[in-house]
Amino acid sequence: MLTAVRHLGPNWYASVMGTAIVATAGAGLPVHLPGLRTACTAVWALSLAMLLVLLAARTLHWTHHRDQARAHLLDPATAPFYGCLAMALLAVGGGTLVVGQDWIGLRAAVALDAVLFGAGTVIGLTAAVAVPYLMAVRHHVHPAQATPVWLLPVVAPMVSAALGPLLVPHLPPGQPRETLLLACFAMFGLSLLATLLMLPLVFARLVTGGPLPLALTPTLFLVLGPLGQSTTAVSKFADFAPGVVPPADAQGFSLLAVLYGVPVMGFALLWLCLATAHVVRARRHGMRFTMTWWAFTFPVGTCVTGAESLSHHTGLAVYDGLALVLYGALVAAWATAAVQTARGLFSGALLAGPRPAPVALRPVTARTT
């Protein structure tokens, strides 16, 4: 067991995020299918179990393989995935209030979400500062290395912004509620501005440097995360602002939900088409399964919740249809990634260390005298 977790990186938390968003997004669909909510609650329970197992495994990793853990922090390709730890905690916590309360009760759901939200927010804000700092002073990266993975640390506070409002009604009226709501709004701005700084690097790398390596191509879907999550966040501000902030501010949040959400969702659809085209090309060139395939889940799920939010605030049926189509794609992607991950775990391939590079034989010149 101790040997098996040596190469268990923080990227594995993406599987928890991708599972939790299936439950959360499914609960908000504009259809009422028999058994749908029960199925979503079961998926949330699975995500909670996955989180607990992964936290235990990562604790063993840090306890018994500190050299490898430090190497992950100093690796510019791995360190950004520490944002996934925060988002996994937040995603499972948010699902607790959305569907988990059906099985564990409201009081336990609020308590569990409060713990997971608090821990996830602290870790997310820490990663949003620490990882870019390491990239600047220790990793020594250059623009040609830019990938959407760089977005992960700065997106984590946006997940806090989108899920924090769920706790607002459970706080005492007055300043506690307003403080939490505006703190979430502040994290929305923090993450949005950081994303706007980072995204041009990713787009410029893609246009000027050519397609990403095959194994990294699925990470193009990570760009959908801040887009869909920010659309969801502004909608949650509008939903929970009445009675918490002054009426004029509440009206402003309602306007922001539409005036911000509609164009950002439009850009998300544009990027979805671009990323899909790159994935189709990579698949034709022999792209095989890696853990980066989990990038097909959580970011798409945030677009589902974003479409659901726009449907609620605009009343347009087109967003209902968009949410259903995207959710179908999300479930298909999750099922594929889950099956492939299970196979990789049973075979041991996903937990194996990196393969050593082949050693080239040095040419030998025979003496003739």
Say how far apart CA 235 and CA 306 lie, in whole Å.
8
Q: Report pLDDT for 139.
A: 85
Say how far apart CA 149 and CA 213 lie, in whole Å.
13
Q: Report pLDDT for 8.
A: 87
- 31-62 burial: b if 16+ Cβ within 10 Å, else e: eeeeeebebbbebbbbbbebbeebeeebeebe
pLDDT in tens, 290-299: 999 999 999 9
In the block, residue with structure tokens 């609620």: 312
Q: Report pLDDT for 367.
A: 44
Helix or strand (DSSP H, E) at 85: helix 82-95
Q: What is the mean pLDDT of residues 23-31?
A: 95
The total number of residues written for the chain in this structure? 369
CA distances (Å), 155 to each of 24, 138, 148, 194, 306, in order?
Answer: 18, 21, 11, 8, 15
Q: Report pLDDT for 1.
A: 57
Q: Are 225 and 153 in contact (CB under 8 A)?
A: no
Q: Report pLDDT for 114.
A: 97
SS3 percent helix, strand, coil of the chain, rounded to 5, is 80, 0, 20
Q: What is the DSSP string of 198-229?
A: HHHHHHHHHHHH-SPPGGGGGGGGGGHHHHHH
Say how far apart CA 171 and CA 187 lie, in whole Å.
19
Please tell me which of 3-12, 64-73, 203-212, 243-252 the model is most confident about, judged by mean pLDDT. 243-252
Q: What percent of the chain is modeled with pLDDT above 90?
A: 82
pLDDT band for position 271 (cuts 50, 70, 90): very high
pLDDT in tens, 218-250: 999 999 999 999 999 999 999 999 999 999 999
pLDDT in tens, 147-204: 999 999 999 999 999 999 999 999 999 999 999 999 999 999 999 999 999 999 999 9
Report pTM: 0.92
